[in-house]
Amino acid sequence: MKRFILLLFVVTSLQNYSQDVIFSQNFLVPETLNSSFTGAIRSTKTGAVSRSQWRNSALKTTSNFAFIDSWFEGFKSGLGVSFLNQKESGSSYTFNQVNLNFAMAFEISDTWYFRPSISAGLGTKNYGFQNLLLEDQIDINNNIINTASIDPTLLRAQRSFLDFSTSVLFNNEDSWVGLTLKHLNKPNISLTQNGEVPLDVFLSVHTKYYLPLLENYRTWFASKSKIYVLSNYMQQGSYNRFDLGLQYIFEDQMSFGMMVATIPSKNTEATSTINSISTFAGIRWQGFRFGYSYDINTTALVNTGGIHEFSVSYDFEINIRALDRYKCVPFF
């Protein structure tokens, strides 16, 4: 019975821990989505995102992402480092990964650019199973607890692995479309000592498309406004998700938007087609960008406290955008 419960715990844990973190502000901080944004603004940039999920439940999860990257004009390349951390309050599970990102830029027409990139990382998943107490550790006769176990179902408390990813990005001055493939080498994340459980490849196809809806209106407000359609299709194993939304930008200083997260291929009848609705806002001041988003859950989970995200980034050379020879990726 003990081993059955332990096995059930292993299966459930793998399902929860084998899916990538998806940040709601991936269009405000696209480095979380696509490594081809490394150095894309042709200057040095740094930033961070913090995500607090289901704060009112035992499943509270905190995810943090930080990055710094820069552009090297002589090599027409960008180089950067990113760090991802995830922690669950209901267990001792933690996940940390550091990535080295490299991107290049090629002009393929008068208005379009092609940006391929590669990313190599080192990840560590700590499942916290060192806190579990197994049967053979209990010594009733001597009234003590042994620190070691010889149980064949003994779980591996920590798993480290190398992780390789690649991305591409096509952009002009107004729009972009990207493709990301993570975990190309399918690293082993098994919880058992000699197990083999590959991490599924994560696929993302994402776009930000400029809608010229206001160009025919000759007003001061219309001349300062831009509207974008946002989309992001994601697939990892049997899990899939499609996000669709709109973003409004005023004078490149303020941004507001809404995204709807849907599940195109429901695994069960109980799965809701619309998973959540996210609202976000951003503001730019000098070289800083600040963002906030709130996700409203629409599934059977109730009273979870929603999902809050805060982001901040800084461009070190903000005046470089004025140079005509630079075609910077538009991502407020």
**More confident of the two residues 87 and 324:** 87
- Domain-embedded: residue 327: no
Question: Nearest-CA neighbor of 329 among 74, 83, 24, 29?
Answer: 29
Is residue 269 left, alpha or beta, with left meaning phi > 0 and alpha meaning psi from -120 to 50? alpha
Number of domains forming the structure of the chain = 1
Give the residue-averaged pLDDT of 127-154: 52
pLDDT at 178: 96
Spatial separation of the C-alpha atoms in residues 309 and 24, rounded to whole Å: 7
Q: What pLDDT was estimated at residue 14?
A: 46
- The confidence score (pLDDT) of residue 92 equals 74
pLDDT for 233 equals 96
Q: CA nearest 22: which of 47, 60, 51, 46?
A: 51
Least confident of 71-75, 182-186, 256-260: 71-75
Band of residue 297 on the pLDDT scale cut at 50, 70, 90: confident
Domain contains 265: yes
Nearest to 318, CA basis, from 285, 294, 273: 285
User: Whose CA is closest to 204, among 222, 177, 185, 229?
Assistant: 177
Q: Are 203 and 19 in contact (CB under 8 A)?
A: no
Boundaries of domain holding 45:
2-322
Q: What is the SS3 assignment for 75?
A: helix
Per-residue confidence (pLDDT) for residue 207, from 0 to 100: 95
36 contacts 52 by C-beta, under 8 angstroms: no
Q: Is the pLDDT score of 7 beyond 50?
A: no
Are 69 and 53 a contacting pair, CB within 8 Å? no
Q: What angle do CA 223, 208, 123 make, to 5 degrees?
A: 140
Q: How does residue 158 score in pLDDT terms, banded at 50, 70 and 90?
A: confident
Question: pLDDT band for position 324 (50/70/90)?
Answer: very low
Which pTM was predicted?
Answer: 0.83
Query: Average per-residue pLDDT in the chain?
Result: 81
Predicted pLDDT of residue 196: 85
Burial class (CB within 10 angstroms; exposed 0-12, middle 13-18, buried 19+) of 186: middle
Is residue 295 one of the residues assigned to a domain?
yes
Q: How many helices (H) and strands (E) does the chain have?
A: 2, 17
pLDDT at 115: 95
The answer to the question of residue 329 being in a domain is: no
Residues 293, 79 contacting (CB under 8 angstroms) = no
Question: How far, in Å, CA of 151 to CA of 138, rounded?
Answer: 12
pLDDT of residue 17: 55
Q: What is the dihedral of CA 69, 73, 75, 80, to 10 degrees?
A: 0
Tokens representing residue 156 in the block: 């591996």
3-state secondary structure of 295: strand
- As a residue count, the chain comes to 332
Domain annotation covers residue 328 = no
Classify residue 332: in a domain, yes or no.
Answer: no
Question: Can you give the CATH number for the domain in which 290 is found?
Answer: 2.40.160.40
